[in-house]
């Protein structure tokens, strides 16, 4: 690389990561940059099967009267929105009273959708900025991935059914990065999700026709190594010409590259790639319900083949104004969510909530139909959080969040009931889940005040 004509938009892709060369002072002379904030145990069930965790996000809150269950304990009834879960009653828990107070406005004013997204898996108050100086916190899935990710080909899998935006402003002065990402590797580094099911499939099993996947994976990994070596050599050459502050940026950049290198090495250790017994998807389906089904199928395949044990799926970013022709709703979801007690708008939002709940039920049935290594279902050996960082989309509240905890946690959860947590940080649930994943006991995560008792 020759300064100052370096093309900083050189990307390294392949193992699910996207690394861009930072904007260094040495490349932009005359500009003044502010200083920037700059042992694993693998969890298994009592029967020895792997324990898995996933976080599924739906947008814009829910209609409380339709979502909330009636009764507590095992003697409860699902609200109308979640009646599709009735056949799966023995595999789910309804948890009410969880909250993300760091998503409340406070002194930051508008931007509840960005805060809802950015806080959901981190529990921290995200920095209000539309620039590159984004700041959130490491997400719960990535803490788990750091500790158990070396047991699988992929430490974690990030998925979305939304186009991804990593820059620019999206919500009242907040960066698009907050709405487009659930997973955060560090406070300043979100993990970009993949939204094309074909690319997800090829990442898991390789490209090409049946019988050629193994060779293609070998070739692809060799190419990834070649790209990585090239970028590392160039980065080291640039480092000698940088200012003190730029060197701190470069150190973070090289740390990301080394992590990708380690992920490639880990993936190379898994030579027996399972056959998914299905053709590669053609791409993104036109119909949204089919799109969600296909992404859920990719996630189920990843769990079934033990490609990963940690995943996130953003069904749509908070603030999404998607229409739903599949259920004959032409208005945008976000616009409808500000219903101002209009009964027809409330009815349509409830239909959308039910649409997402139907897809969730289909996914859980899919996992329940897949037998795990111990004879139980994959759903039995999973912990799956389905929820939203907004509670009431009309008022932008972040307490009593709509949350379902699905899966039996390998037989350790008390399923088939409604647990009333009563004004409890969502992060208390996450601390408990991290314990079950074998993460060395943390004193705190996000804004936690302890562990969620009784799940």
Strands 417-425 and 157-160: unpaired
Q: Are residues 78 and 145 in the same domain?
A: yes
Question: What's the confidence (pLDDT) of residue 243?
Answer: 77
Question: What's the confidence (pLDDT) of residue 268?
Answer: 63
Question: What's the confidence (pLDDT) of residue 195?
Answer: 96
Domain boundary among 219, 239, 272: 272
In this predicted model, which residue has the larger pLDDT, 226 or 113? 113
Report residue 192 as tokens: 């970009």
Q: Sorting pLDDT into bands at 50, 70 and 90, what band is 44?
A: confident
Q: What is the mean pLDDT of residues 144-161?
A: 95
Rounded to the nearest integer, the mean pLDDT of the chain is 85
- Its domain, for residue 134, covers 48-206+282-436
Q: Sorting pLDDT into bands at 50, 70 and 90, what band is 238?
A: confident
Q: Which residues contact 332 (CB under 8 A, 6 or more apart)?
A: 321, 322, 323
Question: Do the Cβ atoms of 91 and 413 come closer than 8 Å?
Answer: no
Q: Are residues 305 and 255 in the same domain?
A: no
Q: What is the mean pLDDT of residues 214-219?
A: 55
Highest mean pLDDT among 250-254, 275-279, 383-387: 383-387
Q: Are residues 136 and 236 in the same domain?
A: no
Question: Do the Cβ atoms of 369 and 381 come closer than 8 Å?
Answer: no
Rounded CA gap, 184 and 205, in Å? Answer: 25
Q: What is the CATH number of the domain that holds 293?
A: 3.40.720
CA dihedral 202, 207, 208, 210 (to 10 degrees): -50
Q: Sorting pLDDT into bands at 50, 70 and 90, what band is 7?
A: very low
The yes-or-no verdict on residue 1 having pLDDT over 60 is no
Q: Are residues 74 and 197 in the same domain?
A: yes
Question: What's the confidence (pLDDT) of residue 364?
Answer: 98
Least confident of 63-77, 183-197, 228-242, 440-454: 228-242
The yes-or-no verdict on residue 22 having pLDDT over 80 is no
Q: Is the peptide bond before 4 cis (omega within 30 degrees of 0)?
A: yes
Question: What's the confidence (pLDDT) of residue 256?
Answer: 61
- From the number of C-beta atoms within 10 Å of its C-beta (0-12, 13-18, 19+), residue 219 rates as middle
Q: Sorting pLDDT into bands at 50, 70 and 90, what band is 4?
A: very low
Report residue 292 as tokens: 């969600």
Residue 444: inside a domain: no
Q: Are residues 369 and 299 in the same domain?
A: yes
Residue 201: inside a domain: yes
Question: What's the confidence (pLDDT) of residue 29?
Answer: 40
Question: Do the Cβ atoms of 440 and 39 come closer than 8 Å?
Answer: yes
Q: Are residues 174 and 311 in the same domain?
A: yes
Per residue in 123-142, pLDDT tens? 999 999 999 999 999 999 99
Question: What's the confidence (pLDDT) of residue 400?
Answer: 97
Least confident of 113-122, 226-235, 427-436: 226-235
Q: What is the mean pLDDT of residues 33-58?
A: 71
Residue 33: inside a domain: no
Q: What is the mean pLDDT of residues 11-35?
A: 40
Share of the chain above pLDDT 70, in %: 78
Q: Are residues 240 and 362 in the same domain?
A: no
Question: What's the confidence (pLDDT) of residue 41?
Answer: 55
Residue 38: inside a domain: no
Q: Sorting pLDDT into bands at 50, 70 and 90, what band is 20?
A: very low
Q: Are residues 190 and 222 in the same domain?
A: no
Question: What's the confidence (pLDDT) of residue 345?
Answer: 98
Per residue in 362-371, pLDDT tens? 999 999 999 9
Least confident of 134-138, 262-266, 282-286: 262-266
Q: Are residues 320 and 419 in the same domain?
A: yes
Per residue in 317-346, pLDDT tens? 999 999 999 999 999 999 999 999 999 999
Q: Which residues contact 411 (CB under 8 A, 6 or more apart)?
A: 45, 46, 376, 380
Whole-structure pTM value: 0.81
Question: What's the confidence (pLDDT) of residue 253?
Answer: 62
Q: Are residues 231 and 198 in the same domain?
A: no
In this predicted model, which residue has the larger pLDDT, 273 or 225? 273
CA dihedral 113, 115, 119, 124 (to 10 degrees): -170
Q: Sorting pLDDT into bands at 50, 70 and 90, what band is 223?
A: low
- From the number of C-beta atoms within 10 Å of its C-beta (0-12, 13-18, 19+), residue 191 rates as buried
Question: What's the confidence (pLDDT) of residue 211?
Answer: 45
Question: What's the confidence (pLDDT) of residue 349?
Answer: 98
3-state secondary structure the chain: CCCCCCCCCCCECCCCCCECCCCCHHHCCCCCCCCCCCCCCCCECCCCCECEEEEEECCCCCCHHHHCCECCECCCECCHHHHHHHHHHHHEEEEEEEECHHHCCCCCCCCHHHHHHHHHCCCCCCCCCCCCCCCCCCCHHHHHHHHHHHHCCCCCEEEECCCCCCCCEEECCEEHHHHHCCCEEECCEECCCECCHHHHHHHHHCCCCCCCHHHHHHHHHHHHHHHHHHHHHHHHHHHCCCCHHHHHHHHHHHHHHHHHHHHHHHHHCCCCCCCCCCCCCCCCCCCHHHHHHHHHHHHHHHHHCCCCCEEEEECCCCCCCCCEHHHCECCCHHHHHCCCCCHHHHHHHHHHHHHHHHHHHHHHHHHHCCECCCCCECCCCEEEEEECCCCCCCCCCCCCCCEEEECCHHHCCCCCEEEEEEEEEHHHHHHHHHHHCCCCCCCCCCCCCCCCCCC
Question: Do the Cβ atoms of 91 and 367 come closer than 8 Å?
Answer: no
Question: What's the confidence (pLDDT) of residue 205?
Answer: 83
Q: What is the mean pLDDT of residues 297-310?
A: 95
Q: Sorting pLDDT into bands at 50, 70 and 90, what band is 66?
A: very high
In 3D space, the residue among 268, 270, 238 whose CA is nearest the CA of residue 254 turns out to be 238
The structural domain count of the chain equals 2
Q: Are residues 295 and 379 in the same domain?
A: yes
Q: Are residues 129 and 256 in the same domain?
A: no
Residue 52: inside a domain: yes
What does each C-alpha distance from 149 to 50, 120, 307, 437, 438 come to in angstroms?
12, 21, 10, 11, 12
Residue 446: inside a domain: no
Q: Sorting pLDDT into bands at 50, 70 and 90, what band is 226?
A: low
Residue 415: inside a domain: yes
Residue 198: inside a domain: yes
The yes-or-no verdict on residue 425 having pLDDT over 50 is yes
């Amino acid at each position: 690389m020759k300064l100052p004509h370096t093309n900083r938009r050189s990307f390294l892709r392949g193992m699910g990561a996207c690394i861009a060369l930072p904007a260094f002072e040495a490349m932009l002379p005359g500009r003044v940059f502010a200083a920037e904030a700059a042992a694993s145990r693998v969890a298994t069930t009592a029967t020895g099967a792997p324990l898995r965790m996933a976080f599924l996000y739906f947008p814009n809150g829910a209609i409380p009267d339709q979502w909330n269950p009636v009764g507590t304990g095992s003697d409860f009834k699902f609200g109308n929105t979640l009646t599709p879960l009735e056949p799966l009653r023995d595999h789910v828990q309804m948890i009410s009273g969880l909250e993300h107070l760091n998503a409340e406005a406070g002194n930051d004013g508008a931007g509840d959708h960005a805060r809802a997204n950015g806080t959901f898996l981190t529990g921290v108050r995200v920095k209000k900025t539309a620039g590159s100086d984004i700041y959130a916190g490491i997400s719960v899935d990535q803490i788990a991935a750091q500790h158990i990710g070396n047991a699988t080909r992929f430490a974690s899998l990030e998925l979305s059914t939304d186009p991804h935006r990593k820059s620019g402003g999206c919500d009242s002065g907040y960066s698009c990065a907050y709405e487009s990402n659930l997973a955060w590797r560090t406070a300043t580094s979100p993990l970009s999700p993949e939204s094309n099911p074909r690319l997800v499939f090829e990442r898991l099993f390789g490209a090409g026709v049946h019988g050629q996947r193994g060779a293609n994976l070998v070739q692809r990994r060799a190419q990834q190594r070649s790209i990585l070596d090239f970028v590392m050599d160039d980065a080291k050459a640039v480092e000698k010409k940088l200012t003190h502050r730029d060197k701190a940026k470069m150190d973070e950049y090289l740390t990301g590259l080394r992590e990708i290198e380690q992920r490639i090495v880990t993936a190379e250790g898994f030579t027996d790639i399972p056959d998914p017994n299905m053709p590669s998807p053609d791409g993104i389906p036109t119909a949204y319900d089919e799109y969600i089904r296909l992404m859920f199928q990719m996630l189920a395949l990843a769990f079934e083949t033990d490609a990963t044990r940690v995943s996130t799926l953003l069904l749509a970013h908070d603030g999404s104004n998607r229409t739903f022709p599949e259920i004959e709703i032409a208005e945008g979801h976000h616009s409808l969510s500000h219903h101002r007690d209009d009964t027809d708008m409330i009815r349509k939002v409830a239909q959308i909530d039910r649409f997402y709940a139907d897809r969730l039920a289909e996914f859980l049935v899919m996992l329940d139909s897949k037998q795990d290594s111990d004879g139980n279902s994959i759903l039995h050996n999973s912990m799956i959080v389905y929820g939203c960082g907004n509670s009431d989309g009309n008022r932008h509240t972040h307490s009593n969040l709509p949350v379902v905890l699905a899966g039996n946690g390998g037989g350790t959860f008390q399923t088939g009931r409604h647990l009333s947590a009563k004004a409890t940080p969502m992060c208390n649930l996450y601390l408990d889940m991290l314990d079950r994943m074998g993460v060395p006991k943390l004193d705190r995560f996000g804004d936690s005040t302890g562990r969620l008792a009784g799940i």
